[in-house]
Amino acid sequence: MSQQRYAVFIETAKGCVPAKLSVPTTTSAVEVAMKLRAKGWEPYKLRLDQEQSAWIASIIDWKQAA
């Protein structure tokens, strides 16, 4: 039996892109943040969109902001 998973998306000022990561539905926001940090992202806000079955991580693009 396969386990249901949520896709993870990265939201920046330029739009929303897939993070090429999916996590089990039982994963907490802290665990998602740690997985994103391991991939080099620095999320400052995470939200779960249950209708879309996805975690959405907001990222500040410091290169664009400077």
d(CA 23, CA 54): 9
Is the pLDDT at 46 greater than 90? The verdict is yes
Find the mean pLDDT for residues 27-52.
94
Q: Is residue 46 part of a domain?
A: yes
Q: Please report whether residue 19 resides in a domain.
A: yes
Between CA 12 and CA 31 the distance in angstroms is 20
Domain contains 66: no
Q: What is the pTM of this model?
A: 0.83
Residue type, 52: Q
In a domain? residue 41:
yes
Tally of domains in the chain: 1
The reply to whether 51 falls in a domain is yes
Q: What is the CATH number of the domain that holds 50?
A: 3.10.20
For 46, the domain range is 5-61
> Three-class SS of residue 28?
coil
Q: Binning pLDDT at 50, 70 and 90, where does residue 54 land?
A: very high
Q: Tell me, yes or no, whether 35 lies in a domain.
A: yes
